Amino acid sequence: MEANDAKVSFEDALGQLETIVEAMEAGDVPLAELLAKFEQGSKLLKVCEARLKDAELKIEQLKKQKDGRVAFEPFAPEREA
């Protein structure tokens, strides 16, 4: 991950990624630009995945047991079917 990528918030990276996907789906992008957008989108996807993983780890660490002690519990997100 590049230094600039480390500063991008999840929301900003996701917004940029959505813009890239929309432009690519429109089909009006020349091949050279399409390849550049794909590369940029791949980097943004990695940023989003890293931010989500960090959030998941924080959630796991912050879960508390009934008696108030902090307990490390695996995070089990509900998956959409």
Q: What is the pLDDT of residues 12-37, one digit of tens each?
A: 999 999 999 999 898 888 999 999 99
**What pLDDT sits at residue 41?**
94
Question: Which domains occur in the chain, in start order?
Answer: 3-62 (1.10.287)
State if pTM tops 0.75.
no
Asked if the model's pLDDT at residue 40 lies above 60, the reply is yes
Q: Please check the confidence at residue 55 and state whether its pLDDT lies above 80.
A: yes
Q: In whole numbers, what is the pLDDT of the chain averaged over residues?
A: 81
pLDDT band at 75 (very low <50, low <70, confident <90, very high): low
Q: How many angstroms separate the CA atoms of 18 and 28, rounded?
A: 16
